[in-house]
């Protein structure tokens, strides 16, 4: 995850604190997580490789959470068409977005946090 140096994150709810965190705080937390859980990087690499494989096969990512919720990640491509109204010549053309069944590689790539 790329984080701008000047990025400051504030909790949404005051009961979670009123302080801000910055890139340095996130980096320290991330380093601690990876040092205390060395297998975590292997898991992240595995998930990234699976995402790449499914993207190359043009398949959605589907998984079931421990609570039984089915999650589907399918970034599809959209096509847009400009349409002019045939009855009223003075009307501005409208853009219609059309959903396709093709998976968008561009949107899928980089979705995993590393």
Q: Check whether residue 86 and residue 46 sit in a common domain.
A: yes
Q: Check whether residue 31 and residue 49 sit in a common domain.
A: no
Q: What is the largest CA-CA distance in the chain?
A: 68
Query: In this predicted model, which residue has the larger pLDDT, 11 or 110?
Result: 11
pLDDT in tens, 19-50: 666 777 777 778 888 888 889 888 888 888 88
pLDDT of residue 111: 55
* Tokens 């995850």, located at residue: 1
Instruction: Tally the domains of the chain.
Output: 2
pLDDT in tens, 67-111: 999 988 777 778 888 888 777 777 788 888 887 777 766 666 555
Q: Which domain holds residue 2?
A: 1-36
């Amino acid at each position: 995850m790329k984080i701008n140096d000047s990025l400051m994150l504030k909790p949404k709810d005051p009961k979670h604190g009123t302080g801000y965190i910055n890139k340095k705080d996130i980096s320290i937390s991330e380093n601690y997580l990876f040092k205390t859980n060395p297998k975590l990087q292997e898991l992240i690499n595995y998930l990234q490789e699976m995402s790449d494989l499914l993207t190359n096969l043009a398949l959605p990512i589907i998984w079931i959470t421990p609570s039984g919720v089915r999650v589907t990640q399918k970034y599809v491509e959209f096509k847009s068409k400009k349409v002019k109204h045939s009855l009223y010549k003075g009307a501005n053309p409208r853009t219609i977005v059309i959903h396709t069944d093709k998976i968008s590689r561009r949107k899928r790539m980089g979705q995993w946090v590393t």
